[in-house]
Amino acid sequence: MAAETVVMERSSSFMEPFKDTLVTYFMPESCYDEFFLDFNFLDVPCLKIVLSKGLGIGIILGSVLVKLPQILKLMGAKSAEGLSFNAVLLELLAITGTMAYSIANNFPFSSWGEALFLMLQTVAIGFLIQHYAGKTARGLVFLVVYFGLVALVLSPVTPPSVVTSMQASNMPAIIIGRLIQVAANFRNGHTGQLSAISVFLLFAGSLARIFTTLQETGDSLMALTYVISSACNGIIALQVAYYWNSSPDQQKKKLE
């Protein structure tokens, strides 16, 4: 028993320098004590908390680059063929609503932080769609208007009821936005410059968010939004797989 006590004390003292980081980002202090003082690594509630926090941070880190392949693909091709600007606008509405709703309700950053990075990348894609369509001036106006509206929504002058309504409108915005892209893919017979990497990462991220949202916020409205988002992203992912060997050039040849 004495030897076991010594081992436990050494282990807990070894983890002490990491305690602040672990408690701040991954678990409450009670779970730290459960894991590293009592060595109960099978505590289910604490395991769910740690899994949720880890997934949340992983999603945020992944979101920094999730749409980069799409942006690079557009810039490399110097074309936005196959991408719908209207779908981008509806996606931005959903992302902005989630971000504003989470900030207004003081939800932890690990439960919604990817919205910030997805917003910035989606705005860039929206501008590129306009730019490669020969409408650069309209693209610049789009940037100014959008960021102006974001500043207004996040300001104290916007009533909480408006922010809640934005979050509630996410579901139809997501459905309509994704269906516009699905219809464009079906009509074109290919997915154009749509990036398969970005599509599959978005699908995986929205699935993981269902669990982390229920675990960290308990907000059924946000959880339902991610369920719908996962279903819609899944349809586009299936289209990417189905049209994998199709390209705009091949479709043009078929029509000639």
Looking at residue 110, the DSSP 8-state letter turns out to be G
Q: What's the whole-number mean pLDDT along residues 51-68?
A: 80
Q: Tell me which amino acid residue 29 is.
A: E
Q: Which of 65-69, 97-101, 123-127, 153-157 has the lowest mean pLDDT?
A: 65-69
Output the pLDDT for position 128. 95
pLDDT in tens, 75-124: 998 988 888 898 899 889 888 988 898 888 888 887 788 889 989 999 99
Rounded Cα–Cα distance for residues 255 and 215 (Å): 51
Query: Is-contact 93 150, C-beta < 8 A?
Result: no
- d(CA 39, CA 207) in angstroms, rounded, equals 31
* Residue whose structure tokens are 């880190």: 61
- Kindly report the pTM of this predicted structure: 0.67
Work out the pLDDT band at 25, boundaries 50, 70, 90.
Answer: low
Cα 205 to Cα 63: distance, rounded to the nearest angstrom: 8
Looking at residue 250, its pLDDT comes to: 55
Residue 249 has pLDDT above 60, yes or no: no
Q: How far apart are CA 197 and CA 205, in angstroms?
A: 12
Kindly tell me if the per-residue pLDDT of 7 is higher than 50: no
Q: CA 121, CA 38: separation in Å to the nearest integer?
A: 44
Select, from the ranges 8-17, 27-36, 44-53, 172-181, the one with the highest average predicted confidence (pLDDT). Answer: 172-181
Question: Would you state the pLDDT for residue 129?
Answer: 94
47's CB contacts (< 8 A; 6+ apart) are 41
- Output the pLDDT for position 4: 45
Q: Burial, 212: exposed, middle or buried (Cβ in 10 Å; 0-12, 13-18, 19+)?
A: buried
Dig out the tokens for 191 from the structure: 């997915």
> Could you tell me the two tokens for 169?
């409108």
pLDDT over 70 (residue 182): yes
pLDDT of residue 3: 44
CA 245 to chain centre: 27
Residue boundaries of the structural domains of the chain: 2-42, 53-247
Cα–Cα distance measured from residue 119 to residue 86, given in angstroms and rounded to the nearest whole number? 15
Which pairs with CB-CB distance under 8 Å and at least 24 residues apart come from 104-108?
A: 104/160, 104/163, 104/164, 105/217, 105/219, 107/216, 107/217, 107/219, 108/56, 108/216, 108/217
Residue type for 18, please? F
Q: What is the pLDDT of residue 248?
A: 55
**Does 142 or 217 have the greater pLDDT score?**
142
14-23, 64-73, 99-108, 134-143: which has the highest mean pLDDT?
134-143
| Chain mean pLDDT for the chain | 81
Task: Taking the CA atoms of 159, 160, 163 and 168 in sequence, report the sign of the dihedral they define.
Answer: negative
| Per-residue model confidence (pLDDT) at position 16 | 60
CA 252 to chain centre: 34
Residue 24: its pLDDT value, please?
Answer: 55
